[in-house]
Chains A and B, each alone.
Chain A
Amino acid sequence: MKKILILISIIIIGILAYLFNENKTETKISKDISTSTKVGFVYLTTPGDHGWTYAHELGKQKVKNHFGKKIITTIVENVPEGPDAIRVIRELAQQGNEIIFTTSFGYMEPTLKVAKEFPNVKFEHMTGYKRTPNLATGNIRFYEGRYVQGVVAGLMTKTNKIGYIGAYPISEVIMGINAFAQGLKSVNDKASISVIWANTWYDPVKEADAAKVHIAEGADILAQHTDSPAMLQIAEQNGVFGFGQSTDMSAFAPKSQLFASVNNWGPYYIEKIEALRNGKWNTGEAPDHWAGNKWGGFSTEMLELSEFKNMPEDVIKKAEEVMNEIKSGKLKIFAGPLIDNNGKEILPAGKEMDDGGLWGMNYYLQGVDGKIPG
């Protein structure tokens, strides 16, 4: 009886709410609907002010500035990577969003499932590898920024010990470590990288602990493939340097952040939405063995570096030079000879590793200490 009363009261309240509801948003939308493209975004977390999702939020803001009233964006944040994602993505599709960006690896299966149900809606999944005619994937060549980090680290380190905090031992992260090692080796063959696996993408406590261990072991430059500013805050307290991840984190460590690799999703979003509006959207021609129909780095401006700080003029000059050479394609990050840290030759001189090879990396190159767990 009591439960029934609860339900009745909920329903009464709801009806009242419905009567009060003036449907403001709906009328507002209908004015522009004839020409506007509806775009949906699914976020893993609340955007906040740093890290992965915040970078996507900045991308979405670029989209809004670019298209203005020509598009209507809808975001859903804090969507867990399971059945909730399926429901949210489906709901976005049902509400008439013509293109939906799902911005975390764990949305791969949910996006795939919904994409099959809505063949006329376009889906863009970030950093996955499964695709269908209406589901494309996008990713950033994060490793390009890590090469520049390696160069700067090699020039800045005094102890020749670099502390690296990895998220999980997957090819995405390993290729970043190897790119860092290549950059490091190009300017300093005495320095080496030690890796601590945090086994998380985001956990300030664990990241801070890993940073403390690195510093205690003598590292004076820290790098991270995790998402929080904790490592930089520890670096700041201990007077060592580090690199920010995903977005500019200098606010958290004004004296310690050398620069951050900044994920710039805006151009990719804009390109794909533009293509959809022109009727030219497609999934591209990427082979199926690596992530990303659209895998852009410096040259597409999907990857940028924040302002160089806390380092001497000549290092800044070198870093800019390296960045421009990667951008123009003059500098090949993974060019042979590539030798792993056990001395085994991976790639002979004169050859360049292709994208498939990058996604198959399960070894450390020279310059990295230890071995990959698992």
Chain B
Amino acid sequence: MIVFTPRNKPSKNWIFLAPTLSIILTVILGGFIFAFLGYNPGETLYHIFISPFTRIDRISDVFVKACPLIIIGTGLIFCFKANVWNIGAEGQFIIGALLAGSFGLLFPEMDTKFLLLIMIFIGFLGGALWAFIPAILKTKLNVNEILVSLMLVYIAMLLIDFVVRGPLRDPMSFGFPLTKAYPEGALINKIPIPGIGFLGQLHYGVISVFILVPIAWVIINKTLLGFQIKVLGSAPKATSFAGFKEKRITMIVLLLSGGLAGIAGVIEVSANMGQLQPEISFGYGFTAIIVVFLGRLNPIGIILAGIIIATVKLGADNAQMAIGIPKVVTGLFEGILLFFLLTGETLQKYQIAWKNYRS
């Protein structure tokens, strides 16, 4: 069978070479696939990787797309570093947005400049509440958090569906499932650039990335909590020897990641939709998991990872518009890219050998 043994000392060169090689292999293999299907590989790759950066408003759209991924990912870092597997960020995102949005819609008299801040706070609480369920079950009853958090995603989806079709449906929507538009104070505005106007969908919410990510970096690298999280993740037994409370840390990381996913939900809906609708997330919570691993559980890394994923997604749209290449083909390409990047990382950390246990 195949055996993975950790390399004692990962080669310094390969730390740089592995991802480079991964990308080169992706481009070569992807190029062959594109050529095989009758598309000019150079042109296709240009549209996927480069075209999202050819206009300033396209660049801003990359950031807009990456924004929820990075915010959710920032929260997930805490969990994954502690070996706590929160797979339900999608649900926490939805509940955060749902509770905050409901507040904004139900209390229009709160429409002041503080409304948005209150909603972001409620979003944090909502996301944290949804993560509290797997957290309490794990710490009290030792229930697997992967299953609980994942199942809660579907409950959250049905819950928002119910609210949007039932209690909060706009009476003027002819039965269509939409809430009223948010009050003015609940919206996140687009950023006006002097002399240009608006750049695509670039909104103030994107700025939060540059606030939240450094805070996360500081917590992880410069605080006792961060240290405890890392110890719990890499050597669970050492946690108790050191007198750290394992359950408390588990609870904190789940609440933090749930809360951040909730904030991401509030920002996404307030900036880009301005009302609640049955679907608000489009898989951000799941894609963020890929972003976190691509960014190697590092706050700065996930900014880059988020941008890479967002670029490829936007590039896929551009490629389709420019040369008519179907999304399924560019989706294939995305898969190959992730496959090679993650394989590269694994091979760089582990040695692979064939071992025959019979002999």
Contacts and interface: CB of A to CB of B under 8 A. Distances in A.
Given A7-B304, A46-B326, A82 B273 contact: yes
Interface stretch (A15-23, A152-160, A272-280): A15-23
Interface stretch (B103-111, B118-126, B315-323): B315-323
B282 interface: yes
Interface stretch (B85-93, B144-152, B174-182): B174-182
A170 B176 contact: yes
B177 A170 contact: yes
A10 B320 contact: no
B185 interface: no
Nearest to B27: A13
A6 B20 contact: yes
A98 to B, nearest CB: 15
A137 to B, nearest CB: 12
Interface string B33-66: 0000000111101100110000000000100110
B6 interface: no
Contacts of A227: none
Nearest to A291: B174
Interface size class of A (residues with CB under 8 A): 35 or more
A357 interface: no
Contacts of B24: 9, 13
A3 B200 contact: no
A168 interface: yes
Contact of A83 (B16, B273, B301): B273
Name A's interface SS. helix
Given A10-B49, A87-B314, A82 B324 contact: no
- Chain B, interface size category, equals 35 or more
B23 A88 contact: no
Interface in A3-46: 3, 5-7, 9-10, 13-25, 46
Contact of A105 (B16, B176, B282, B322): B176
A106 interface: yes
Interface stretch (A70-78, A233-241, A311-319, A340-348): A70-78
A17 B42 CA distance: 4
Interface in B230-278: 268, 272-275, 277
B166 interface: yes
Interface in A68-122: 74-84, 86-88, 90-92, 95, 105-106, 109
A374 B15 contact: no
A5 B279 contact: no
Contacts of B166: 374
A1 interface: yes
Nearest to A29: B322
Contact of A362 (B23, B43, B175, B328): B175
A23 B324 CA distance: 14
B317 A88 contact: yes
A80 B61 CA distance: 15
A80 B46 contact: no
A129 interface: yes
B282 A87 contact: no
Interface of B: 15-16, 19-20, 23-24, 27, 40-43, 45-46, 49-50, 61, 64-65, 161, 165-166, 174-177, 200-201, 268, 272-275, 277, 279-280, 282, 300-301, 304, 308, 314, 317-318, 320-324, 326-328
26 contacts: A2-B19, A3-B300, A3-B301, A6-B304, A7-B304, A13-B23, A13-B49, A20-B42, A20-B43, A22-B40, A23-B43, A24-B43, A75-B320, A77-B320, A80-B279, A80-B282, A83-B64, A83-B268, A83-B272, A87-B65, A105-B176, A106-B279, A172-B175, A174-B175, A360-B174, A362-B175
